[in-house]
Structure 1
Amino acid sequence: MDEVYKILLALFPIIMAITLHEAAHGWVAFKLGDSTARDLGRITANPIKHIDPIGTVLIPVVMILVTGFAFGYAKPVPVDVRKFEHPQKDMALVALAGPLSNFIMAVFWTFVLMLSYKFIPSGAVANAVKYMSGIGVIINIILMVVNLLPMLPLDGGRIVTGVLPFKWAVIFVRSERYGMWLVILLLVTGILGKILMPMVEMVQKNLFGLFGLG
């Protein structure tokens, strides 16, 4: 496959991984009493509502082609914690929804990959489906693992904030102003990949084992 064809095949699973991640945040927030995301039309699989051209498309595609490791983001879904009955706990549930959606999508793409080996084992179509499915598996596992890092503003940091005693949560929230810069520093220096890739590989190995893939 040439590089342009690979990019075109990769775009769909990458965009949907990031899009549905954000939609999941909005859906859980709505179920917990905050309709902000719904009112803005953000509880949708329509990527146009969520796409950030740089973070959703350019950065993930370039990184996965160049380094094999992807990192991306969409426009954050707005959440008004004042509308939650239990703001601290409910915000943690909203945060968890994103990585959980990526895990579900990783399972889906692994299933598609298994079907492609069983029913279309060779040819151009088979290669395309296998490549797209492989990207779908890896990008969703990476997004899940990255977002579960216990650092703000990542989802893992929101989850930690939700389970800490309130006075400790208030102190922890102060780290958010530096969090994304720290994530970028770890990414650029390669430290993030060294920390996360063993976890990514473990999740992938177990998913492949579950569906009988080598």
Structure 2
Amino acid sequence: MGLISLLSSNPTAFVIIAAALVLSLAFHEFAHAYTADRLGDPTPRRYGRVTLNPIKHLDPFGTLLILLVGFGFARPVPINPNNLGRWGTMWVSAAGPLSNLLIAVVCAVLLKVLPLTSLTYTILMTVLSINVVLAVFNLIPIPLLDGSRILGAIVPSLGRALNQFEAQPFSFLIVMGFILLFQGQIGGIIRTVQAWVIGFIGV
């Protein structure tokens, strides 16, 4: 179910979740861009992606999917692997999920140390949960996701095969179809990890 269904039934929840998603996706893509820039690849800066401005990172179609079906994506950050090398490319890929884990940790600390109202508790728990979901989902080793690029850097032969697949015209549609086909199983994995994390930090 998409976010749009909350707009009339629970507008406060809609605003909180939408804002958390937009800012978390933007921070995820900024982390990719910033890491590539720091490791010597000027490509993200040339495209104006080394910024926290969400407008630079949101994809219109991906955002529409989030609103309508509850699943979507931001615009991938363009990089040039030739400027980064094997391990630089791996760290750029890992930077996105790691940034989401960082946000989740900050929220967990704030939940522990701040005097909380019901609203601040809801906001922090929403941001924490969304960022755990983004981190876990993006670490799944399927093409176009960060997990596959991390794995491809560790196993170069697999990385070359994944790059060839991603270069195909219909690779995006194939991956989207795979995710939708197995969304129950993927969702189950994400919910399990999410529940474990929340139980571990005890909030």
TM-score in terms of structure 1 length: 0.78
Distance 1:112 1:208, change over 3 A: farther
Q: Where does 1:198-213 land on structure 2 (aligned, <5 Å)?
A: 198-210=189-201, 212-213=202-203
Number of residue pairs matched by the alignment: 194
- Distance (whole Å) between structure 1 residues aligned to residue 132 and residue 67 of structure 2: 15
Instruction: State the distance in 2 between where 1:202 and 1:14 align.
Output: 19
Contact in 2 for aligned 1:151/1:157 (Cα 8 Å): yes
**Percent sequence identity over aligned pairs:** 29
Give 1:72's aligned residue: 72
Alpha-carbon distance in structure 1 between the residues aligned to 2:95 and 2:14:
28
8 Å contact kept, 1:21–1:99: yes
- Post-superposition shift, 1:132? 2.2
In 2: Cα distance, 1:153 partner to 1:187 partner: 11
* Residue equivalent to 1:44: 51
User: Structure 2: 5+ residue runs without aligned partners?
Assistant: 1-5
Of residues 106-115 and 17-26 in structure 1, the stretch that sits farther from structure 2 once superposed is 106-115
2:154 to 143, 152, 163: 163
The C-alpha deviation readout for 1:124-152, integer Å capped at 9, x for no partner, is xx333232222212221111111111121
Other structure's SS at 1:140 match = helix
Aligned to 2:65: 59
Task: Give the superposition deviation at 1:39.
Answer: 3.1
Residue identity in the other structure for 1:169: G
SS of 1:197's equivalent? helix
Give the structure 2 partner of residue 193 of structure 1. Answer: 184
Higher relative contact order (CA 8 A, sep 6+): 1
CA distance in structure 1 between the partners assigned to 2:200 and 2:189 by the alignment:
16
* Alignment RMSD (CA, Å): 2.4
Give 2:115's aligned amino acid. F
Q: Give the corresponding residue for 2:3.
A: none
What's the CA shift for 1:155? Answer: 0.7
Residues of 2 paired with 1:137 and 1:197: CA distance? 18
Within the candidate set 33, 38, 42, 2:40 is matched to 33
In 2, distance between residues paired with 1:30 and 1:110?
29
Matches within 5 A, 1:44-123: 44-56=51-63, 58-64=64-70, 71-84=71-84, 87-115=85-113, 119-120=115-116
**What are structure 1's unaligned runs of at least 5 residues?**
65-70, 121-125
Structure 1 distance, partners of 2:152, 2:193, is 27
Separation of aligned partners in 1, 2:172 and 2:109: 33
Amino acid paired to 1:135: T
2: CA distance between counterparts of 1:59 and 1:109?
26
Q: Which of 142, 146, 150 is residue 133 of structure 2 equivalent to?
A: 142
